[in-house]
Amino acid sequence: MSQIFSVDELVPHSGRMSLLDNIVAYSENWLHAEVHITADSMFAEDQGVPSWIGLEYLAQAISAYAGLQESARGEKPKIGFLLGSRKYVCSVDYFAIGQTLLLKVTKELQAENGLSAFQCVLSGDNITATATINVFQPDNAEEFLQDVIS
């Protein structure tokens, strides 16, 4: 895979809720993305962005990975759901203003029913965060949500 994609082409978030800045590199089983922390970043506080937001950064990197897979099949990116994470550990409490974070997500498991697990690493200047993230991407998110609601 060598085509360059923008975040907007791959992630079905919009406006300020689209948190990734760049897709750096990808292959069949992984994706690397970047987030630049600024005073205008969503969730920014005086100290920076709370490190627990790193889970959402990683989840959006997984969404970008899924968007790549869908693009390869000629489809548009679909909505997915973050089911949970195991062992999210971060070396800092806040991501400081001015830092650039590198997100690395690697597919570990993908089931036929839309469930997937990813090994995730977030890194930056003196920052390391890791997690295993489980996601679910139904074939039809609207139909799935109607079934859940009823």
- The mean per-residue pLDDT over the stretch 29-37 comes to 97
Residue 114 located in a structural domain: yes
Residue 130 located in a structural domain: yes
Residue 142 located in a structural domain: yes
Residue 107 located in a structural domain: yes
Residue 1 located in a structural domain: no
Range of 24's domain?
Answer: 7-149
- The predicted pLDDT at position 8 comes to 77
Residue 94 located in a structural domain: yes
The four Cα atoms 78, 79, 83, 88 give a dihedral, to 10 degrees, of: 90
Residue 118 located in a structural domain: yes
- The mean per-residue pLDDT over the stretch 92-99 comes to 98
Q: pLDDT per residue over 107-136, tens digit each?
A: 999 998 989 999 999 999 999 999 999 999
Nearest CA among 119, 120, 112 for reference residue 137: 112
CATH number of the CATH domain containing 74: 3.10.129.10
Which of the residue ranges 4-8, 84-88, 116-120 would you say has the lowest mean pLDDT?
Answer: 4-8
Nearest CA among 25, 66, 57 for reference residue 129: 57
> Which residues of 52-125 form beta strands (DSSP E)?
81-90, 94-95, 100-110, 115-124
Give the chain's domain count.
1
Give Cα 81 to chain centroid, integer Å: 11
- The predicted pLDDT at position 14 comes to 60
- The predicted pLDDT at position 74 comes to 87
Residue 112 located in a structural domain: yes
Nearest CA among 67, 130, 134 for reference residue 104: 130
